[in-house]
Amino acid sequence: MTLEQPSLSAACEAVADGIEREALVTVFGRCTVDYEGRASSTLETGDRHVMLKPDGAALVHTDEGQQPVNWQPPGCEHDVYCERADADGSGEAEIGTEAGDEAVDRDDADALVLESLRSNPDERLLVRFQRVLQVSAFSGTDENDLTLSGTEEDLRQRILEEPDLLEAGFTPLATERATPAGAVDIYGEDSAGRTVVVELKRRRVGPDAVGQLRRYVDALERDLHADADVRGVLVAPSVTDRADRLLGDHGLEFVSLEPTGD
C-alpha cells in the first residue's frame, strides 16, 4: 500500500494500519525530529525518510550518507497520531485514530506524529511531519538468511526423535493436530500431563509467530474441557526482542533450537 501526497489524516490512518498489521512502514516528508533519553537532540525542519520496522526498530534518514541521523533499536513500541493547535492557538491537542476518536475532525490536523518508545533505558524518538509526500506499508518476510539451514520438517523430526530437546518428560501425541485456529505443528503432553502446543519456525521470528501460537492455545482452551491447562511453546533458532516480550506477556514459552543438529 502506497499513498502519494496524502492528507495528514489519511497518512495517520495508513501508518496506524501498517503498525497494527506489523508491516514495514515508511514515511517521507517535511518534519522535525526530537530525541529524549540519556541525551537530548533536535533536528529542525527538513525533508526526511522514516522507517518503522515490525521488530520495533525505527530509522530516520536524510538525503546524505548511509547511516541514519537518528534511530531506535529493535524492541521499541511504535505509535502514530495527529496533532492540531487548540482553538486559541496556544497549545496542541492529540487527534487519535481509534474508533472512539472519529468525532474529532482530523482534517484540521497540523502535524502527523510518529513516536518510538524504548523502556529500558527510557528513550523517546518523536518525528513531527508538517507535510507527507509519501507513506507506504509493506508486509513480507526475508528468507535469505545465509546462516540458515534445514526446514521446519527437519525441526519437527528432531523433536519427534528426541522429545527431550523440547523439555524433559515431553511426549509428542500428534502432528498437524487440527484446531479451529489451524493445524498445530506438534501436539503433546508434558511430564505433569498438561497439554502442550508446539509451534515450529525454521528461522528467527517476530511478533507474528507469537500471535499465531496464542491463537492455537486459545482455540484449544475453548475446544478442550473447561479446566484444561494448555501450554504454548514456540520453537525457533531465535526471536526478536519484541516477540520475546510478547511471549512473556501472554504466558507463552520459547525454546531455541536449530532445524538440524549440525
Each residue's pLDDT tens digit, 98-109 = 433 443 344 567
What CATH code is carried by the domain that includes residue 228? 3.40.1350.10
The pTM of the whole model exceeds 0.85:
no
126 and 176 co-located in one domain? no
202 and 103 co-located in one domain? no
d(C-alpha 76, C-alpha 100), whole Å: 25
Q: Is 100 helix (H, G, I), strand (E, B) or coil?
A: helix
What CATH code is carried by the domain that includes residue 112? 2.70.180.20
Residue 58, Cα to own-chain centre: how many angstroms? 12
Q: Which of 138, 160, 182 is the last residue of a domain?
A: 138
d(C-alpha 5, C-alpha 8), whole Å: 9
Over residues 224-245, mean pLDDT: 87
Beta-bridge partners for 236: 256
107 and 210 co-located in one domain? no
230 and 129 co-located in one domain? no
Sole residue written with cell 502446543? 197
234 and 115 co-located in one domain? no
| Lowest-pLDDT choice from 61-75, 135-149, 209-223 | 135-149
Give domain status of residue 66, yes or no. Answer: yes
Residue 220's domain comprises 152-256
Query: How is residue 205 annotated by DSSP?
Result: B
- Does residue 199 contact residue 175 with C-beta atoms inside 8 Å? no
- Reply yes or no on whether the pLDDT at 9 is more than 80: yes
Give domain status of residue 223, yes or no. Answer: yes
Each residue's pLDDT tens digit, 140-160 = 766 554 344 578 899 999 999
Give domain status of residue 58, yes or no. Answer: yes
Q: What's the total number of domains in the chain?
A: 2
